[in-house]
C-alpha cells in the first residue's frame, strides 16, 4: 500500500511538472499605428483624430481583464511633443503596458532621438518577457535604419546593410524601413534556444512585417530573420504593424499577422483583444480589424 501511494505521488508530481501552464487562458490588448501628430490630414491619414480613437480603445480595453497591452509601433507620426498628447491616454490603461518602436517614433529632431525609448518607458530597445509559459520577443526593426540608428557604429552598419541588400532590387529596400543588427539576431537566437529548453511557446512583436516576398513594408533583412527562426517549432506567431491595410500569411506553422493602423480613415478605428487558449489564439477585432482564429497546435 505504501509503495502504491509513493508511485501515485511520483506520477502526479511528474504530470504537474510537465503540464505546460500555457493551458491557462489569458487575454491581451493590441493596438497598431496610433501615429498621432497635430498635423493636417493627408490622404486617409487623419492625425488629429487619433487621440479620440485612442481614448475609446483604452476605455474598451480597461473593461477587460488583460495580462498586458502592447502597441506595435508608430505611437506618434512626428515631433517629440506629440508624445505629450498620447502618453497620458496610454497611461490610463489598467493592464501592464509594452511598446514596440516604429520608424515614425524616431521622426523627431536628431538631438532628441536618443530620448525616444526612455520617453516611451523602454529600458531596452529590444527585449523579451514571459507570461503563462509564452515567451514574447519584442524586436527593434529600427536597430539599423535611417530613422533610429543613433550611434556612429549603428549608422555605419545601417549603410553597409542597406547598400548590400539594395543590389538585390527588393521593393522593401526603402529608407523608411529598417533592419535587425547582427547583435540583435544573435540575441534572438539565444532567446529562442532558452525558450526551447524550457518548453515555452514563442511569439514575436515587431513594427515591420517579415514574411512575404516583394512586400514593400518588410524588414530589410527579413530573409535572414526567417532563416534564423525556421528550425524552431515552438514559434507560433509574428505580430506587426506598419502596413496600415493589414495582412495575414501562415508560414512554417507561424502566423504572421499585420494589424491594421488605428490612424487610417476619419470615422473608424482598429484595435484588438487577443485571447490565448490551450490550442488557439483568438483575435477579437474592433473597428476595421477583422476577428479571426489562429491554431497553435
pLDDT in tens, 65-77: 999 999 999 999 9
- Whether the model clears a pTM of 0.85, i.e. scores above it, the answer is yes
pLDDT of 24: 85
Least confident range of 10-14, 171-175, 196-200, 267-271:
10-14
Of 183, 150, 180, 153, the closest CA to residue 165 belongs to: 180
C-alpha cell at 275: 485571447
**pLDDT at residue 14 tops 50:** no
Strand order in the sheet with 134-138: 127-131, 134-138, 201-206, 235-240, 254-258, 247-251
C-alpha cell at 179: 533592419
C-alpha cell at 167: 543590389
User: Is 74:102 a contact under the CB 8 Å cutoff?
Assistant: yes
188-234: pLDDT as tens digits: 999 999 999 999 999 999 999 999 999 999 999 999 999 999 999 99
pLDDT of 21: 47
**Which band of pLDDT confidence, cut at 50, 70 and 90, is reported for residue 22?**
very low
**pLDDT at residue 36 tops 90:** yes
108-127: pLDDT as tens digits: 999 999 999 999 999 999 99
Q: Mean pLDDT over all residues of the chain?
A: 93
**pLDDT at residue 7 tops 60:** no
User: Is 114:121 a contact under the CB 8 Å cutoff?
Assistant: no
Q: Could you give the CA distance from residue 222 to residue 230 in angstroms, rounded to a whole number?
A: 12
- Per DSSP, helices labelled H in the chain are 2-18, 50-61, 83-90, 116-119, 152-166, 182-197, 222-229
**Which band of pLDDT confidence, cut at 50, 70 and 90, is reported for residue 259?**
very high
Tell me the residue length of the chain: 297
DSSP string of 117-145? HHHTT-SSSSEEEEETTEEEEE--TTSEE
CA separation, residue 214 to residues 157, 163, 176, 208, 219 (Å): 23, 18, 16, 14, 11
pLDDT of 151: 95
Q: Could you give the CA distance from residue 295 to residue 297 in angstroms, rounded to a whole number?
A: 6
pLDDT above 70 covers a percentage of the chain that reads: 92
79-101: pLDDT as tens digits: 999 999 999 999 999 999 999 99
248-257: pLDDT as tens digits: 999 999 999 9
Q: Could you give the CA distance from residue 76 to residue 263 in angstroms, rounded to a whole number?
A: 10
pLDDT of 1: 40
Of 75, 179, 57, 67, the closest CA to residue 119 belongs to: 75
All domains of the chain in start order, with CATH: 23-295 (3.60.21.10)
Amino acid at each position: 500500500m505504501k509503495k502504491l501511494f509513493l508511485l501515485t505521488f511520483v506520477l502526479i508530481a511528474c504530470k504537474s511538472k510537465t503540464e505546460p501552464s500555457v493551458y491557462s487562458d489569458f487575454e491581451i490588448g493590441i493596438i497598431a499605428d496610433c501615429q498621432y501628430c497635430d498635423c493636417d490630414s493627408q490622404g486617409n491619414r487623419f492625425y488629429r483624430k487619433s487621440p479620440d480613437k485612442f481614448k475609446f480603445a483604452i476605455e474598451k480595453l480597461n473593461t477587460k481583464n488583460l495580462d498586458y497591452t502592447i502597441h506595435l509601433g508608430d505611437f506618434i507620426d512626428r515631433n517629440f511633443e506629440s508624445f505629450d498628447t498620447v502618453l497620458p491616454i496610454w497611461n490610463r490603461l489598467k493592464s501592464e503596458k509594452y511598446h514596440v518602436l516604429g520608424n515614425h517614433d524616431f521622426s523627431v529632431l536628431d538631438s532628441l532621438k536618443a530620448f525616444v525609448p526612455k520617453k516611451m518607458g523602454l529600458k531596452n530597445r529590444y527585449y523579451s518577457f514571459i507570461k503563462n509559459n509564452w515567451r514574447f520577443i519584442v524586436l527593434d526593426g529600427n536597430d539599423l535604419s535611417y530613422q533610429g540608428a543613433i550611434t556612429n557604429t549603428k549608422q555605419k552598419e545601417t549603410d553597409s546593410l542597406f547598400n548590400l541588400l539594395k543590389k538585390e532590387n527588393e521593393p522593401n529596400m526603402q529608407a523608411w524601413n529598417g533592419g535587425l543588427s547582427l547583435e540583435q539576431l544573435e540575441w534572438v537566437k539565444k532567446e529562442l534556444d532558452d525558450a526551447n529548453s524550457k518548453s515555452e511557446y514563442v511569439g514575436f512583436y515587431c513594427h515591420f512585417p517579415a514574411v512575404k516576398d516583394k512586400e514593400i513594408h518588410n524588414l530589410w533583412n527579413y530573409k535572414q530573420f526567417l532563416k534564423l527562426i525556421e528550425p524552431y517549432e515552438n514559434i507560433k506567431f509574428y505580430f506587426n504593424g506598419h502596413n496600415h491595410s493589414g495582412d495575414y500569411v501562415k508560414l512554417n506553422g507561424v502566423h504572421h499577422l499585420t494589424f491594421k493602423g488605428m490612424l487610417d480613415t476619419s470615422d473608424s478605428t482598429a484595435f484588438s483583444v487577443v485571447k490565448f487558449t490551450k490550442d488557439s489564439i483568438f483575435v477579437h477585432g474592433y473597428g476595421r480589424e477583422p476577428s479571426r482564429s489562429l491554431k497553435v497546435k
